[in-house]
Amino acid sequence: MSQSSGAGATLLVLLSVPAEGELRPIVADMAAKVAEYLGDHLADAGTVGAAVEALAAQVAPSGGDEDIAFEFRQSEGELLIAARCGSRSSEVRCPLPA
């Protein structure tokens, strides 16, 4: 994670996991931790996890041998979570507390 002090503080986390297997569920936990780190201590881990799993299902609907690349980015008061697998990509935005 990268963070700078001051009003222009930013965060970028990149994570790549196999589309199938035991590592994929770790991404939901990571998303909840990133939201908490950004100040959303009230974040519902289940909601954030469901959003991440929905992204994974959109970009890798049948699993397969490819990896899913996730990007977590702080952007204008939101946590932007993007997922990419092969030629498919999708994203979700989670509002953060002011």
Question: Are residues 41 and 33 in contact, defined by beta-carbon separation less than 8 angstroms?
Answer: no
Give me the pLDDT at residue 14, please.
Answer: 94
pLDDT at 9: 56
How far apart (Å, rounded) are the C-alpha atoms in residues 78 and 68?
22
Q: Would you say residue 1 lies in a domain?
A: no
Whether residue 87 is contained in a domain is answered as: yes
The total number of structural domains in the chain stands at 1
pLDDT for position 1: 45
How many angstroms separate the CA atoms of 9 and 24, rounded? 29
The string of pLDDT tens digits covering residues 4-52 is: 444 555 789 999 999 988 888 889 888 888 888 887 665 666 778 888 9
pLDDT confidence bin for 83, thresholds 50/70/90: very high
Listed residue (73, 78, 83) closest to 94, CA to CA? 78
Range of the domain at 81: 12-95
Phi, psi for residue 42 in degrees, rounded to 5: -95, 5
pTM of the model: 0.81
In a domain, 7, yes or no: no
pLDDT of residue 44: 64
Which are the contacts of 6, defined by CB distance < 8 A and separation ≥ 6? none
